[in-house]
Amino acid sequence: MEKGNSGMLARRIIPCLDVKDGRVVKGVQFENIRDAGDPVALAERYSAEGADELVLLDISASREGRRTFFDIIERVARAVQIPFTVGGGISTVDEVASALAAGADKVSFNTAAVLRPELLSEAAARVGSQAVVAAIDARRRRPGDPEAGWDVWIRGGSQPTELEAVEWARRAVGLGAGELLATSMDRDGMQAGYDLELLRALSRAVNVPVIASGGAGSVGHVADAFLQGNADAVLAASIFHDGTVTLRELKQGLAALGIPMRLQ
Amino acid sequence: MIGIIDYGSGNFGSVRNALDRLGAGSFISSSPAELDRAEKLILPGVGAAGNAMRLIAESGLEGWLRGLEAPLLGICLGMQLMFDYSQENQTACLGLVPGTVEPFAVPGLRTPQIGWNRVYPAVEDPLFRDIPSGEYFYFVHSYYAAPGAATVATGIYGVEFSAAVTRANIRGVQFHPEKSGPAGLRLLENFISLC
């Protein structure tokens, strides 16, 4: 872990719940969506099993789905005593304030920040940088060549932009993001390991914590994200929803490799 | 009843949820007259020191906080505001605890500190009753207070910092007990029943 003499600060394991119309769903490379359960019940279960934080992303397209999502934020806040981030379609500072008032601790911005980067500064001014997460969906420009960089995609991974991910990350942090959530679209749901080059490039470029997302399939993959990718936290969905590995097994496995973990 | 001090900044809902879970009655208010009816008080806080002190002054809570005799627990920014001064926005704070709050400035150290870090009680304090030394609590902060006369627990993030302070009726914790799982609930319960 070259950068960050953060000592015994535990590396975080963050289960991610993609919520659509009140249900947790999961796809592969942002497609083939399937049901994975009730969000409040899953949040409670993961919290009891040792999750360090949670992320809830609203992927509903409808207004009803959106209202349901805010209800879910309130219910999750009452059900768990660990921090959680919410995101998905939040595009105004008032929505940020509502999400935090409903009980969320942080808000993540993806498409809305790309379309209007000042949103990050406005949100940071209102609620503080510590509550502002820049979520970046990145896809390699040339699959075998990290030197070529990564394209930033928006709208749930359906639309490419002109932005390069590492440059955008630098800018987002300069504007006020206190944390980065970096999802490799190439690896999402594949359970074949994180994009370590992407993580290394991002953690070199910025001084805020980097959360690795997309590709966890085993304890070894997560260990690589910390030890080789210099990630501060990892986000995973499929491995937990599918029961490939439990949070407890994962954290014990990582602790055995010398990675600081909060064990219960 | 526990009074949660609402000065217009901060995540009051989470503190309230945690107190509900403990079965402790609480109310949220910005009125000194109402808050005077509480047996104990909690000063939460997120965001920046300058804005928070401005809001506290505008709410008429500044003088009231300085003269408070009831037990008060400050959380995160709520703890930092108890010191004399914060280098965040160069802000004169409440002066209930001696010392200055400064930014993490260790080269290569990621800031904010976000996550679960170990807390080591340095002296006996009822706040940490039945909580083992080295227990993990959840932190989110870019500024810290160096250990001083009021420090009762420390943590290490590049440098050693005050994780908890006590001065007469005043207590402050840099971490978020309301987001620190069972250990955090234990600490809140200690504040309610022992402090």
How many angstroms separate the CA atoms of A111 and A88, rounded? Answer: 8
Structure confidence at residue B34 (pLDDT)? 97
The residue among B140, B154, B157 with the most chain A CBs within 10 A of its CB, best to mutate, is B140
Task: Give A255 to chain B, closest Cα distance, Å.
Answer: 14
Contacts of B109 in chain A (CB under 8 A): 4-6, 207
- Any catalytic annotation for residue A71? no
Contact criterion met (CB below 8 Å) for A209 and A83: no
What is the number of other CB atoms lying within 10 angstroms of the CB of residue A256?
Answer: 11
What is the rounded distance in angstroms from the CA atom of residue B56 to the CA atom of residue B50?
Answer: 10
- The answer to whether the CB atoms of A129 and B113 lie below 8 A apart is no
Number of domains in chain B: 1
Say what the pLDDT of residue A36 is: 79
A22 forms beta bridges with none
Q: Distance (Å, rounded) from C-alpha A67 to C-alpha A21?
A: 9
CB B155 within 8 Å of CB B135: no
Q: Crossing angle for the helix pair A165-175 and A196-205, nearest 10 degrees?
A: 40
Among A52, A137, A151, A188, the one annotated catalytic: A137
Q: Is B161 exposed, middle or buried (0-12, 13-18, 19+ CB in 10 A)?
A: buried
CATH of the domain at B54: 3.40.50.880
Contacting residues for A181 by C-beta, under 8 A, at least 6 apart: A55, A85, A108, A133, A134, A135, A136, A211, A213, A235
The pLDDT of residue B147: 98
Residue with tokens 């953690």: A203
Residues in chain B closer than 8 A to A78 (CB atoms): 17, 20
Residue B186 pLDDT: 97
Active site annotation includes A137: yes
**For residues A80 and A128, is the Cβ–Cβ distance under 8 A?**
no
State how far the Cα of B150 lies from the Cα of B98, in Å rounded to an integer: 8
Peptide bond into B112 cis (omega under 30): yes
How far lies A93's CA from each of A85, A132, B47, B191, in Å? 15, 11, 14, 34
A49, A210, A262, A263: best to mutate for the B interface, most B CBs within 10 A: A262
Among the options B76, B93, B135, B141, which is catalytic? Answer: B76
- The minimal CB distance from A178 to the residues B20, B109, B112 is found for B112
Partner A contacted by B129 (CB < 8 A): no
- Note the pLDDT of residue A30: 64
Check if the beta carbon of residue B51 is closer than 8 Å to that of residue B111: no
Whether the CB of A12 is below 8 Å from some CB of chain B: the reply is yes
Q: Could you give the angle at the alpha carbon of A231 between the alpha carbons of A69 and A32, nearest 5°? A: 45
Contact state of A7 with B179 under an 8 Å Cβ cutoff: no
Task: Report chain A residues whose CB lies below 8 A from the CB of B112.
Answer: 129-130, 178-179, 208-209
Model ipTM value: 0.92
pLDDT in tens, chain B (195 residues): 999 999 886 678 889 999 999 999 999 999 999 999 999 999 998 778 998 999 999 999 999 999 999 999 999 999 999 999 999 999 999 999 999 999 999 988 999 999 999 999 999 999 999 999 999 999 999 999 999 999 999 999 999 999 999 999 999 999 999 999 999 999 999 999 998
Inter-chain contact B108–A81, Cβ cutoff 8 Å?
no
Instruction: Count CB-CB contacts under 10 A for residue B114.
Output: 27
Distance, CA of A169 to chain centre? 14
End-to-end CA distance of chain A: give it in Å, rounded: 24
- CA gap A187, A194 in Å, rounded: 6
User: Across chain B, what does the average pLDDT equal?
Assistant: 95
Q: What is the pLDDT of residues B148-185, one digit of tens each?
A: 999 999 999 999 999 999 999 999 999 999 999 999 99
Give me the residues of chain A with pLDDT under 50, please. 1-4
Task: Write out the residue range of the structural domain in which residue B66 sits.
Answer: 2-193
**Interface A:B, Cβ pairs < 8 A:** 105
Q: What is the three-class DSSP state of A29?
A: coil
Interface of A with B in 171-200 (CB under 8 A): 178-179
pLDDT, residue A67, reads 85
What pLDDT sits at residue A5?
A: 52
Which residues of A are less than 8 Å from B13 in CB distance? 77, 101-103
For residue B104, the surrounding DSSP H or E stretch is none
